[in-house]
Amino acid sequence: MTPMCAKSVRLFFCGFAVCAGLSHGYAQDGGDYRIHTDQPQQVIKGLGFEIQSDSIGSLNLGMPEDVIAVPHDLTPSEKTRLYKQMLHGFRYTRLALGLYLRGLDADQKHIVERYPGQLRDLRTMQKVAGIEGFDAEYWSPPPFWKDSKSYYGGTVAGHDAAFFDAFSDALVQDVRYLEANGLHVVQWGLQNEPVFGVTPLNGEKVKNGERPKMPYGIMFYSPEDYATTLKYTVPKLRAFKPMLHIHANSWDGPAGKYAEEIRKDPELLKNIDAWSWHQVGSNSNAQIDDREKYLKGAGGKPVYSNEFEYQPADLKKIDSPFMNTGQSLMNWMVFENSPTWFWLHALKPVTNMEASGYALGFWRPAGVLTSNLRPNLQAGHWEFNPQNWNALAGFLKYLPWDSTRLTVDESTVQHDQRVLVWKSKKGKLGIALSNRGTKPYTFHLRTDGRVAVVGHRYTVTTLDAALGKKTGDALSITVEPQSYEFWVAR
């Protein structure tokens, strides 16, 4: 037994320990945390975001022909400010093929840019923001390959070997096209939320013989068709880009029927690099309480969330979206050993009524607007959405790419307080602390040796407030309610 756990049984799981039965008199206002610098966990690659590089209707209804897109709509100086002030620090950009990149060739077999300069803007964003590259993922493949012959709804148009061979060639060609235009494709997914696309959304009734109405580019795969498409496509992608990160299935990770179908083919399973989940707008407690659900069937492969946002209804269910967002990120990394985590949108237009829960910021398109969430914002300009942005800003600034998470023993695992500790590639220690509670909470931290760290506080109204310096091998840090603190070695 370690001294910390002398009165308890030490329980280990997922790279951290819980010491049950301790009584220090802290009640809910403090706890003990033992940092093990010699017990590494997963490498945290970096964070991701999605970019709305084409138009979508308010409340996600329809795909207008008008070009309402970012970076396209911004003035030159506002583009640069976006790249440097918001996007710098992210590693990945999620690129929605068949939605926010949905131009088509003459045969409707391949996705291309829909308006002049679309790919140039994305290429410049990649360079100036300093992101590594794009997570190219379909919301819908090109209409030629669908029985609906439309971006809206439907499923695969064929089921024989000749169809899947040609279809997979087209999917690989889309990646080649992006690469040829200077976009680095570093991650790839076959289909966003493949469970949707045949039955109507929102409970609407459909008469016999009518196709259900779909809100935007979408595609249904049966688990069998999903696995078969991957079986044909993945070897070709590997031949073109051997180091490409391939994930499945942007819905229920390793837990559902899609992953079950993949596991039937050992060669295909071997070429799936990670399992991706969508638990949008959910309470961060789920990552603690339902950990087994998220890891079930993972088979040692990483699991992570590649989409997080708040639907309008979700905002009413979460007491503090600001705190819940950052703790979702932290809990995925601590309890599910995730290597990355994705927010949904960098910017949403002021005309989209869901933007407050979806975006890190807002931009104003040109022209007369029928609705406007930010009436004082000038055309071609953007501004931060503090509720969402402030929750992530500290992680982007103080959690370097490819840092290694360190093991932390916790006296009690709290829902409202979280600690995430890492060591950067340069060997620098970093500590992130959060307090979602209603009163100050003291983290009593012990390390393997003397450390010197500098503190920074983030709240929904404050960014990067200086907190001074702490040194020693035992640090007591009191975090105010509704705030994050980052203590990093210099």
Question: Is a pLDDT exceeding 80 seen at residue 456?
Answer: yes
Locate 235 and state its tokens: 């070897």
Mean pLDDT throughout 427-443?
Answer: 97
Residue 10 CA to residue 18 CA, distance in Å, equals: 6
Burial of 87 (0-12, 13-18, 19+ CB in 10 A): buried
pLDDT of res. 4? 36
User: CA nearest 78: which of 462, 346, 320, 401?
Assistant: 346
The 10s digit of each residue's pLDDT in 463-474 is: 999 999 999 999
Contact in structure between 102 and 53 (CB atoms under 8 Å): no
Residue matched to tokens 């705030």: 483
pLDDT surpasses 90 at 28? no
In angstroms, how far is CA 407 from the centroid of its own chain?
Answer: 23
Q: Which run of H or of E encompasses 393?
A: helix 386-398
Q: What is the pLDDT of residue 6?
A: 31
- Residue 9's pLDDT is 30
CB 436, CB 470: distance < 8 Å: no
Integer Cα distance of 487 and 248 in angstroms: 35
Other CB atoms within 10 A of residue 258 CB:
27
- Tell me, what's the pLDDT at 207? 54
pLDDT score of 200: 53
pLDDT at site 205: 54
Cβ distance 74 to 28 under 8 Å? Answer: no
Region 65-76: what's the mean pLDDT? 97
Confidence of residue 1 (pLDDT cuts 50, 70, 90): very low
Percentage of residues of the chain with pLDDT beyond 70: 91
d(CA 54, CA 117): 12
pLDDT digits (tens, 9 = 90+) for 215-248: 899 999 999 999 999 999 999 999 999 999 999 9
Q: Domains plus CATH for the chain?
A: 3-44+402-488 (2.60.40.1180), 46-398 (3.20.20.80)
Span 72-99, pLDDT tens digits? 999 999 999 999 999 999 999 999 999 9
What's the distance, CA 290 to chain centroid? 19
For 133-160, write each residue's pLDDT tens digit. 999 999 999 999 999 999 999 999 999 9
pLDDT tens track for 261-306: 999 999 999 999 999 999 899 999 999 999 999 999 999 999 999 9
Mean pLDDT, the chain, whole residue set:
92
Is 196 within 8 Å of 232 (Cβ atoms)? no
Confidence (pLDDT) at 315: 84
Structure confidence at residue 349 as a pLDDT band (50, 70, 90): very high
pLDDT tens string 352-368: 999 999 999 999 999 99
Q: What is the DSSP letter of 83?
A: I
Amino acid at 7: K
State both tokens at 334: 């601590």
Element (H, E) at 200: none
Whether the pLDDT of residue 253 is over 60: the answer is yes
pLDDT of residue 204: 53
- Is residue 11 pLDDT above 50, yes or no? no
DSSP 151: S
The owner of tokens 């060591």 is: 423
Share of the chain above pLDDT 90, in %: 88
- The band of 208, judged by pLDDT with boundaries at 50, 70 and 90, is low
Residue 27: predicted pLDDT: 45
Return the closest-CA partner of residue 124 out of 79, 185, 188: 79
Tokens matching residue 361: 């910021």
Q: Which of 447, 434, 415 is nearest to 486 (CA)?
A: 434
Q: Does the pLDDT at position 192 exceed 80? A: yes
Does residue 53 surpass a pLDDT of 90?
Answer: yes
Q: Which H helix or E strand runs over 343?
A: strand 340-349
Of residues 482, 485, 391, the one with CA closest to residue 438: 482
How many whole angstroms from its chain centre is CA 75? 27
| 99 touches 217 (CB < 8 A) | yes
β-bridge partners, 277: 251, 305
- Of 30, 56, 34, the C-alpha closest to 215 is 56
Average pLDDT over residues 408-422: 97
Q: What is the mean pLDDT of residues 391-405?
A: 98
Q: Cα separations (Å) of 428 from 287, 389, 423?
A: 27, 25, 5
Quick check: 7 pLDDT over 90? no
